[in-house]
Amino acid sequence: MAFLTLLQSVPLLLALAKGALPSVAAALGMGLGQWVASLPPCRDFAFEATSYLVCEVDPKRYQVELFWKDPAGKPFQSLHNLHAAQQAAGRTMLFGINAGMYRPNLAPVGLYVERGLEMATVKTGSGSGNFSLQPNGIFYMRNGKAAVRATRDFVKKRPAVDYATQSGPMLVIDGKLHPKFQADGTSRKTRDGVGVRKDGVAVFAISNGTVTFHAFARLFRDALGCDNALFLDGTISSLFAPAIGHNEDYWNLGPMIGVFRKS
């Protein structure tokens, strides 16, 4: 484990020692070395009196993948199920997070690409709800590199991608907050999103409480250094990282993101 990652995990480990006894017991049960290897690159982060869990994922060191259905063609439905399936396959998923909007049948809304296979097409038309609060955008992985782009820019010169999920709205577009966000907005929800820094690091964040879109976007731009960031989901936002006692696990989720340590 990199020394910097270990340092970033110290506040989280201290919190576990104080209150997350089940996680500590799990660590003892699986062995310290195995537990350390399962630690995600995440840390507690405070911004403007709101608490977040932030996970900084360098694609050079970590593998970012999208998941929707299992090999039998059935949606995973929950991050717990996804984690268990990866364990059964001999893989350690450091953390998982829900990855965008989906329909009642759990099918993705908008573009969805998994292992280079396009399983749902890009959506450019108008509509209602957060997804259609233009501009919306796409988070994608290409040749081991992460990116977030507004959908309109993505489709102009569409790259070949390994993984992609479309969601909306964009939080930050080329260093500017989404034009529809209001500083005095009153809609507060639990939210999760992803941004990409200039150094190529993908930054995932989930609020521990409710937050407005404007405040969430400023987190990515002003505190996390992301010129482009995308809202993934709200209300049922969840991040599953059992090694640090983060076991949020809503049922009937659509697309999900899983992060793994590269060997």
Q: How confident is the model at residue 21 (pLDDT cuts 50, 70, 90)?
A: very low
Q: Is 127's pLDDT higher than 90?
A: no
49-54 CB contacts, 8 Å cutoff, 24+ apart: 50/207, 50/208, 50/209, 50/211, 50/215, 50/219, 51/207, 51/208, 51/209, 52/205, 52/206, 52/207, 52/208, 52/219, 53/205, 53/206, 53/208, 53/239, 53/246, 54/203, 54/204, 54/205, 54/224
**Paired tokens of 254:** 């659509």
pLDDT at 248: 77
Q: Which residue has the higher pLDDT, 251 or 254?
A: 254
Q: Is 70's pLDDT higher than 50?
A: yes
Q: In whole angstroms, give the CA distance from residue 76 to residue 245.
A: 21
Distance of CA 52 to the CA centre of its chain: 13
Q: Is 29's pLDDT higher than 60?
A: no
pLDDT at 125: 81
What's at 130, amino acid-wise? Answer: N
Average pLDDT over residues 82-108: 96
C-alpha gyration radius of the chain? 17
Average pLDDT over residues 107-131: 92
pLDDT at 20: 45
Q: Is 17's pLDDT higher than 50?
A: no
